[in-house]
Amino acid sequence: MLGLSLGEKQFIKGGIAQDLRSDGRKRLTYRPISVETGIIPQASGSARVRMGATEVIASVKAELGRPSPLQPDKGKVAIYVDCSPTAEPTFEGRGGEELSTELSVALQRCLLGGKSGAGAAIDLSSLVVIEGKICWDLYIDGLVVSSDGNLLDALGAAIKAALSNTGIPRANVASGASGDGQPEVDISDEEFLQFDTSGVPVIVTLTKVGKHYIVDATAEEESQMSSAVSISVNRQGHICGLTKRGGAGLDPSIILDMISVAKHVSEQLINKLDSEIAAAEADEEES
């Protein structure tokens, strides 16, 4: 994106102040969202989400591994985000690494809960096969294909869709396994356990431009922001995680206001996403 002229910057800020953004949206309206699931057949689950010109792909791969000794009854989940240079030429080589790390950490914070494993949005105990010995490791990979602002929301939506699309193969433990050696686990090709994603939160990013906040900012609008707060909210309206970006200071009352706005917006977003995911899964089954 080339630099913006002074006139363009004024236009963006003025539009936001008047509740009429450059593409005609209101401040709290999302761009059209489209979801496709099952696009990567080699993965256990995958989804592609498009929000306007922003396009991200998320894939979930399940592999067998050892549970951590601190939590022998829980599986493990790792989230990595990669910014592809197709999105921005500056992402070539190591250029996109900073952004990738920032996005990965923010997603981990929103979806995985604390160090003790408490409060994770994904039920980790459903991933264990043999307590203390074998569990499922989920590797969630996000890929930013096209970047036009609001990457965190798109990635959150893509991960939610990919998890709904994920099928963990049923692992049958061979009976008579000894206590010492590695037990035999037979992974079935036929039966799959679908993941329960009703507890997975969505992420709503509120970008403050001037005195107002907008939802789903484009790259141009993000360049004019003073600060941004990303809040992850689940279906029950509980806040699962919070990240503030940007150097400008925010009055605490404004942050509380942003949180309540985010909760309100998240209801519509969750409904829209759920209906899109259901439609995508139905399409995928037909094809």
Partner 1 sequence: MEFVNPEGLRLDGRRPTELRQIRAELGAVAKADGSAVFEMGNTKVIAAVYGPREVRFEYSMANFSTGDRMRRPKGDRRSTEISLVLRQTMEACIMTHLMPRSQIDIFVQVLQADGGTRSACINAASLALADAGIPMRDLVTSCSAGYLNSTPLLDLNYVEDSAGGADVTVGIFPKLDKVTLLQMDAKLPLDIFENVMQLATEGCKAIATELREVSNLMKEINIVGEHKAIGISARGIKSYARWFRLQLCPDCCYTQFLSP
In the bound state with partner 1, the residue whose beta carbon lies nearer, of 59 and 205, is 59
Element housing 286 (H / E): helix 252-286
Place of tokens 């925010």: 250
CB 261, min distance to partner 1, A: 28
In the bound state with partner 1, the residue whose beta carbon lies nearer, of 1 and 105, is 1
In the bound state with partner 1, the residue whose beta carbon lies nearer, of 141 and 274, is 141
In the bound state with partner 1, the residue whose beta carbon lies nearer, of 108 and 146, is 146
In the bound state with partner 1, the residue whose beta carbon lies nearer, of 121 and 157, is 157
CB 59, min distance to partner 1, A: 8
CB 145, min distance to partner 1, A: 6
Alpha-carbon distance 86 to 89, whole Å?
7
CB 51, min distance to partner 1, A: 11
Place of tokens 């992850």: 232
Intra-chain end-to-end CA distance of the chain, in Å: 38
Which tokens belong to 237? 């309206």
CB 285 within 8 A of CB 38: no
Query: What are the strands, taking DSSP E only, across the chain?
Result: 33-37, 45-51, 54-65, 76-83, 128-130, 134-146, 167-173, 185-194, 202-209, 212-215, 227-233, 239-245
Q: How far is CA 89 from CA 86, 149, 151, in A?
A: 7, 15, 16
CB 83, min distance to partner 1, A: 10
Element housing 162 (H / E): helix 151-165
In the bound state with partner 1, the residue whose beta carbon lies nearer, of 139 and 192, is 139
Binding site for partner 1 (CB under 8 A): 1, 40-42, 52-53, 55, 57, 59, 80, 82, 84-89, 92-94, 141, 143, 145-148
In the bound state with partner 1, the residue whose beta carbon lies nearer, of 51 and 261, is 51
Alpha-carbon distance 149 to 232, whole Å?
17
CB 152, min distance to partner 1, A: 18
CB 82, min distance to partner 1, A: 7
